[in-house]
Structure 1
Amino acid sequence: MLNEFDAQLTIEQTKQQIAGADIAITSWGSRPLTEEVLAYAPDLKAVLHAAGTVKPIVTPAIWERGIRVSNATEALGKGVAETALGVTIASLKDMWRLSQHTRNGAWGDRGRVKELFNVTIGVVGAGKAGSHYIQLLQNFEVRVLLYDPIITHEEAVKLGAAKVELDQLLAESDAISIHAPSLPATHHMFNRDTLAKLKDNCILINTARGSIIDESALVGELRKGRLFACLDVTDPEPPVEDHPFRELPNVVLLPHIAGAVNNGLYRLGAFIVNDIERFLKQGKMRGEISSEQLNVLA
């Protein structure tokens, strides 16, 4: 059945929608698929999540019933990576500031402009989005550093990056793009101590999760005028009306658009349709995940 309600379904509506289903497609705003809900779909064999993280909808009951789970993180990650690349180029080119200065009558102030050439780009996290971002960077003559505890040195090289420890990445990167999952281990990864290690004029880009950055610590560094930040995510979202991010000149705020928006949603839909075809052919779904992976996924 198709959800034709222009709102999040209630638990009772969710039960009605899933009743008798063999395959369920969920997305943002879907309710958790608890034992109470799953009781209405005793023959359910697969859940395909047309969004990113499955944590809001997956419950132990799903794994206990042997229901297979897939998500569209790969498709979503492409949009995130493309946005991160665009923001990287715009920030190195100093487009945000120059656009405003030019609008106000200035011209020719190009002192801070950098090309995506012979610079060091730091990538934190080599999941679907981070890996695709690294792949996109292969089109440019840049040095790519990667911090990801799970990736091996050999895997990093295959991606096109050098695996390093976080301190080295912070100290040497001209721009840093965050693609880490939101986990207890990554909460406030960028804090007063780590942010102080960034080189002057470093560009910090976050298209992952707002909780990865200690915002009060970042505000402190930004007020010194030595960093530039592009934030597509904050904690919470949106920032409060009087948040310093809204006034500081060296911050660009975006309304969480890095993933799938408007026509980008069709990429998620196409991915899920392809995974349904894989499932029906009794193959492994491209976005398939296991219960064990939940501890390291976003």
Structure 2
Amino acid sequence: MTLHLAIIPGMRITRRVFTPSQLEKLGRLSRKVTLNQEEGNPSPETVKRLIQGADAVITSWGCPPLDSELLAEAPDLRALLHAAGSVKTVVTPELWERGIQVTGAASMLSRGVAETTLGLTIASLKNMWQIIDYTRNKDWWGFQQDSVRSRIREMFGITIGVIGAGHAGRHYIKLLQGFDVKILLSDPTYTEVQAAELGAKLVPLEELLAAADVVAVMAPEIPETYQLLNEDRLGLMKDDAILINPARGSIIHEEALIRHLKLGRFFACLDVTEPEPPASDHPFRTLPNVVLTGHIAGAVNNGLLQIGKFITDEWERWVQGVPMEGRIDPVKLSFLA
């Protein structure tokens, strides 16, 4: 064993992501492990000290970008394992220039996003939010009136539109395979054949919006997706459609969304807003056809431990000379969240 691994997140993050047994396994797989014992986010000076002579480094939330000044302390660095979502917070051009391999755990976070989106899909189609209000605060059987009961739908014979098939979108589509529904996909990086292999039909965004009973926003936050769902595109949606956004608030033009919601055209489940949180008097907080879930779609609590397991397994693959599953292609970085 000749590899020196530096784990640079503060202990507050490390304890949330890695179990003691996972840290122990990382140690067994390494000649030397340098573990940041400080609680808070590491400063550049702390990172310099930790990565001296390291062959690989584990980063996570709160870690600074690994620029040329930091990389100078680890001339033998060959791998970066990011125990969080987007690697864009830590990668730099200098890192790619040195040929350092990068892997990330975005696929683990995305599982939670997809599963939460499926839950919101089922709950919203079932009109559970309005029925809960009736059974708690009003006549128990009040929801049987036509205006409430008629809005109940099942996961059968409906059309679900998925905007973006990255890690989260792909897993959401996979979960939908257990239901008798039609799945439409809009993603400029996919071909019709690739979409069909997932179990979806590739269509233009406008066609998806006009046809879908449920629209799930799973796209990354990149310049091309800024306010992707604008006034005109929101206007294409069905009057009784459900809009679910577990991605980023900036993908939807929120002023336009508010106008459509005030007209009662459709129902929105928003895990994210722009900015977060919305102001205390923001219409999202009072409109009856909006549910806010407070940015919990990704991994939370025990779900974060999936990240630690994945990164530990990635390190084992690296040590054994096996390709890492989450390896990032720098050419495709601009399309990633």
Q: Shorter-chain-normalised TM-score: which range?
A: over 0.9
The two structures have a TM-score, normalised by structure 1, of 0.97
Name the structure 2 match of 1:115. 154
Name the structure 1 match of 2:195. 156
Q: CA deviation at 1:248?
A: 1.0
Name the structure 1 match of 2:265. 226
Q: Deviations over 1:148-205 (max 9, x none)?
A: 1111111111101111111110001000111111111110001111001000111110
Secondary structure, in 3 states, of the residue corresponding to 2:88? coil
Aligned-partner residue type, residue 41 of structure 1:
A
Name the structure 1 match of 2:310. 271
After superposition, residues 207-222 of structure 1 pair within 5 angstroms as 207-222=246-261
Secondary structure, in 3 states, of the residue corresponding to 2:150? coil
Q: Percent identity?
A: 55
User: 2:149 matched to 1:136?
Assistant: no
Unaligned runs of 5+ in 2: 1-33, 144-148
After superposition, residues 61-76 of structure 1 pair within 5 angstroms as 61-76=94-109
- 1:288 alignment partner, one of 311, 321, 327: 327
Q: CA deviation at 1:8?
A: 1.7
- 1:27 alignment partner, one of 60, 64, 74: 60
Name the structure 2 match of 1:182. 221
Name the structure 1 match of 2:69. 36
Give the number of the structure whose residues are more often helix, by fraction: 2
Name the structure 1 match of 2:241. 202
**Alignment RMSD:** 1.1
Q: CA deviation at 1:283?
A: 2.4
Larger Rg belongs to: 2
Q: CA deviation at 1:106?
A: 2.3
Q: Distance in 2 between matches of 1:160 and 1:106?
A: 42
Secondary structure, in 3 states, of the residue corresponding to 2:87? coil
Name the structure 2 match of 1:245. 284
Secondary structure, in 3 states, of the residue corresponding to 2:322? coil
Q: Structure 1 residues 100 and 17, CA, compared in 2 at 3 Å: closer, same or farther? A: farther
The two structures have a TM-score, normalised by structure 2, of 0.86
Secondary structure, in 3 states, of the residue corresponding to 1:289? coil
Aligned-partner residue type, residue 119 of structure 2:
G
Q: Distance in 2 between matches of 1:14 and 1:243?
A: 41
After superposition, residues 2-17 of structure 1 pair within 5 angstroms as 2-17=35-50
Q: Distance in 2 between matches of 1:49 and 1:215?
A: 32
Q: CA deviation at 1:65?
A: 1.3
**Number of equivalenced pairs:** 298
Q: Structure 1 residues 4 and 99, CA, compared in 2 at 3 Å: closer, same or farther? A: farther
Q: CA deviation at 1:289?
A: 0.8
Q: Distance in 1 between matches of 2:130 and 2:321?
A: 53
Secondary structure, in 3 states, of the residue corresponding to 1:229? strand
- 1:18 alignment partner, one of 51, 55, 65: 51
